[in-house]
Every structure is written in C-alpha cells, then in structure tokens.
Structure 1
Amino acid sequence: MPQPKAPPDSARLDRIVAAARRDAEQRNNGYRERALKMYPWVCGRCAREFTRANVQELTVHHRNHNHDDNPADGSNWELLCVYCHDNEHARYVDHAAGSMGAAATPAAATAQPFADLKALLDSRGKR
C-alpha cells in the first residue's frame, strides 16, 4: 500500500513566493523607474501616449531580450504598451521556433499541377 504524501510546508512555500516577488519587484523598480524618467511616456511601436493614470500599462522592453542587461544609459530599453510588448515577445518566440528546425534551403517542389493540362485541353477541343 503506498504511503500517503506529506502535506506541503505552506510556510516555506509562502517564504519562497514572497522572496521571488520581492526580488522581481526590486529588479523591475530599478530599471523601470529609470526608463520612465529617461524616456517620454509613449509606446515605441503604436505611439500611444500615457499619463500618470495609465502608466502601469507601459512596460520596459529589453531590445536584446536579456532582462539582466540593464546599462545605465538605457540603450537596451524601449517603452512599449502591454499590447505591443506581448506582440514583440510573441514575434520573437515565433522567429526563434521557426529558425531552429528550418533547413537552410527549402526542399524542391515535386508537385506537377499542369502535368495533364495539354491532354485535357486537347480532349475539350475534340468535342
């Protein structure tokens, strides 16, 4: 008979989640606050303008997709609205997925859609 599993240590899990959230918040506040001070509050793709009322919808995008690359001059950042930011990451993921398994040259086409066209046209003319 299998042994019943011990219940998870919820206090330990709470500490891990709290530490992860705290670290993420510190990381985000660091470069996000600097980027918001450095750049105008306008999406770099759709040119939507932001105010204090909706600035939470403006995100910092890392151009090279490396979130640990945060130069002081902000050269790896651009401000994007949440929609353009999601679109940019989806395009990056699609590009990476498409380029990993793709062959260098496409396979030659083997279909012959007009193979019997002459015979078909000749048979129509005999009617």
Structure 2
Amino acid sequence: MGQTFRPRRSGKPAEKSQAELDEMVRRMRGEQSASGSYREQSLKIHGWICAKCGREFDLANLHLLTVHHRDGNHLNNPPDGSNWENLCVWCHDDEHSRGVLGDYLNDGESRRK
C-alpha cells in the first residue's frame, strides 16, 4: 500500500565499555537521589501546599506538587530552602510559560519599532 518512513542509520552506534556504563548508572543514580533530597527538604520546609494557588495536597496527590527553583538554577539548592517554592504542576507550568510568552511578546514589540 503506502510507503513507510524508516530513518537512515549512519552506522552502528558506538558501544560503551562496562566501566562507562557503570559510571553512567552511578551518575544517574546520584542525580536522582540529589533531586529527591531537595524535594523532600522543600516539602518539609514549605509544606504540602502550592505557594501560588494555595491548593493543599495529601499522599494520594502529592506527586502533583513540584519544586520550583526561583532563580532558575537547579543546582542552587540551599538547605534553608530560600531558592525553592512548592508549586502544583499547573502553577509550575504557568510560571515557566509566562517567561516564554513575555519573551515572545517583547520580541514582537522590538520588531514593531
């Protein structure tokens, strides 16, 4: 019938040694545990409530509460929680889309002048 799309492969992917794979797994586990620890800290410090809309969370829906880094730097995780705010997924999405929308609108303004 119709043709199917199959991407071309430019060759065989480079195989990684066992040592490289072990290092990759160690690094990924370290990043995972580090990200989990600051989330747990933020939940303890700021509570199970969205800082923007005030929605309260419980164990059943706690996965919908995220940690937003105020300065945008995910590596800046002070133990006092001063760079974090707990936001529900909807408010977190809104927070990040506002910057994109603002940049888009400001770029349009500069073109009109």
Judge same fold: TM > 0.5, yes or no.
yes
CA deviation string 1:3-57 (max 9, x = no partner): x712442777965764554233122112111101111211111211101121111
**Counterpart amino acid of residue 5 in structure 1:** G
Segments of 5+ residues of structure 2 without an aligned counterpart are 1-9
Q: What is the match of residue 122 of structure 1?
A: none
Q: CA RMSD in A?
A: 2.9
Is structure 2 residue 58 aligned with structure 1 residue 51? yes
CA deviation string 1:61-92 (max 9, x = no partner): 01111111111211111100111111111112
Identity percentage over the alignment?
41
Higher mean C-alpha displacement, 52-61 vs 18-27: 18-27
Which structure would you say has the larger Rg? 1
Q: Name the CA distance, whole Å, in 2 between partners of 1:16 and 1:6.
A: 22
Residue of 7, 18, 36 corresponding to 2:43 = 36
- The higher-RCO structure (CA 8 Å, 6+ apart) is 2
Q: How far did 1:97 drift? A: 4.7
Q: Name the CA distance, whole Å, in 1 between partners of 2:94 and 2:27.
A: 26
Q: What is the match of residue 72 of structure 1?
A: 79
- Equivalent pairs counted in the alignment come to 103
**So what's the TM-score if we normalise by structure 2?**
0.70
Segments of 5+ residues of structure 1 without an aligned counterpart are 108-127
